[in-house]
């Protein structure tokens, strides 16, 4: 009986041990490590702090630095507002086609065009387009009033994104001075983009509509690291000493998520440049993987 028991144990151990076929390809691991080293050099060379999360949407592999550290999101928090807007439309709480006149009390400065118009009245869908494409802060505040500020944070928590918090409207310096900053982590922003990519919790029509807005043309640090013609669904953000950009890169055969957050910058332009460098490195890695055989031969 003891001999039978020992044989059973040895059999289970043999089954648990990965076979040669299951072992990671050392060539692929070497290529991946070169990407990690490149990203680490970029982060180390930045006069500030940089965190990032990269997700291979094909394999699920993640490459991360400070993934759980809480950063100011700047306008990248608008990804969460956009999700809440389309989610409430699915639930019947609001309609994206409802036309809302702009209340003068909602007008703020910063980026955008609504503050320059006299008496605009737009459907919520168009406010969303302005929020994403021009990062219009007035349009964003209209949408925050429409969906409810606390509802955005509650929705993120329900998705498991407990550090992603909308705590103030746009250009509310008094709230920022109180410490009520809009925040998230590189890992949670990447996870939110996975939710958007897979349409989790959204009807297919809403998922398509939301991503179509994020894919609209705009000049951003991530996009500057990617060749023209590759669709990118992203939202950047900037504050004094803070640069953020996060998006889904629709590389054929190997789509991926890239979320980069920088802070403590002495010069914002350095943060932008670091994000672009990271974006270029990630694209070069994934494009090489996408077009190569298991032996590394490029097959076009």
Q: What is the pLDDT along the chain (300 residues), one digit of tens a residue?
A: 444 444 443 343 333 333 334 457 899 999 999 999 999 999 999 999 999 999 999 999 999 999 999 999 999 999 999 999 999 999 999 999 999 999 888 889 888 889 888 889 999 999 999 999 999 999 999 999 999 999 999 999 999 999 999 999 998 888 888 989 999 999 999 999 999 999 999 999 999 999 999 999 999 999 999 999 999 999 999 999 999 999 999 999 999 999 999 999 999 999 999 999 999 999 999 999 999 888 888 887
The residue extents of the domains of the chain are 26-290
Residues 245, 182: Cα–Cα separation, whole Å: 15
Residues 129, 212: Cα–Cα separation, whole Å: 10
Specify the DSSP class assigned to residue 23. S
Residues 16, 138: Cα–Cα separation, whole Å: 57
CATH T-level assignment (fold) for domain 26-290: Beta-lactamase (3.40.710)
Query: What is the model's pLDDT at position 1?
Result: 46
Question: What is the distance in angstroms between the CA of the first residue and the CA of the last residue of the chain?
Answer: 59
Q: Give the ranges where 235-290 is alpha helix by DSSP (H).
A: 268-290
| DSSP3 helix / strand / coil % (the chain, rounded to 5) | 50, 15, 35
Residues 237, 221: Cα–Cα separation, whole Å: 10
Is this structure's pTM higher than 0.95? no
Query: What is the model's pLDDT at position 118?
Result: 84
Radius of gyration of the chain from its Cα atoms, rounded to whole angstroms: 22
């Amino acid at each position: 009986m003891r001999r039978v028991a020992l044989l059973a144990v040895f059999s289970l151990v043999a089954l648990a041990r990965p076979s040669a076929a299951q072992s990671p390809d050392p060539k692929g691991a070497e290529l991946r490590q070169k990407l990690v080293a490149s990203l680490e050099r970029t982060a180390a060379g930045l006069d500030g702090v940089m965190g990032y999360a990269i997700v291979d949407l094909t394999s699920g592999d993640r490459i991360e630095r400070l993934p759980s550290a809480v950063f100011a999101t700047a306008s990248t928090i608008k990804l969460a507002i956009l999700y809440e807007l389309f989610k409430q439309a699915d639930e019947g709480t609001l309609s994206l086609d409802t036309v809302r006149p702009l209340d003068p009390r909602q007008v703020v400065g910063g980026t955008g065009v609504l503050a320059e118009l006299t008496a605009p009245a737009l459907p919520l869908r168009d406010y969303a387009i302005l929020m994403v494409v021009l990062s219009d802060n007035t349009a964003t505040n209209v949408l925050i009033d429409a969906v409810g500020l606390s509802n955005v944070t509650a929705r993120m928590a329900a998705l498991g994104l407990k550090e992603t918090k909308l705590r103030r409207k746009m250009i509310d310096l008094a709230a920022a001075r109180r410490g009520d900053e809009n925040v998230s982590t590189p890992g949670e922003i990447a996870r939110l983009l996975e939710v958007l990519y897979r349409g989790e919790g959204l009807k297919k029509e809403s998922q398509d509509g939301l991503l179509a807005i994020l894919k609209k043309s705009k000049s951003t640090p991530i996009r500057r690291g990617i060749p023209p013609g590759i669709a990118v669904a992203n939202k950047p953000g900037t504050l004094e000493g803070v640069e953020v950009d996060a998006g889904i890169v629709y590389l054929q055969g190997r789509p991926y998520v890239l979320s980069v957050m920088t802070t403590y910058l002495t010069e914002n332009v350095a943060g932008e440049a670091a994000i672009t460098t990271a974006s270029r490195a990630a694209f070069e890695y994934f494009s090489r993987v996408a077009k190569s055989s298991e032996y590394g031969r490029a097959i076009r």
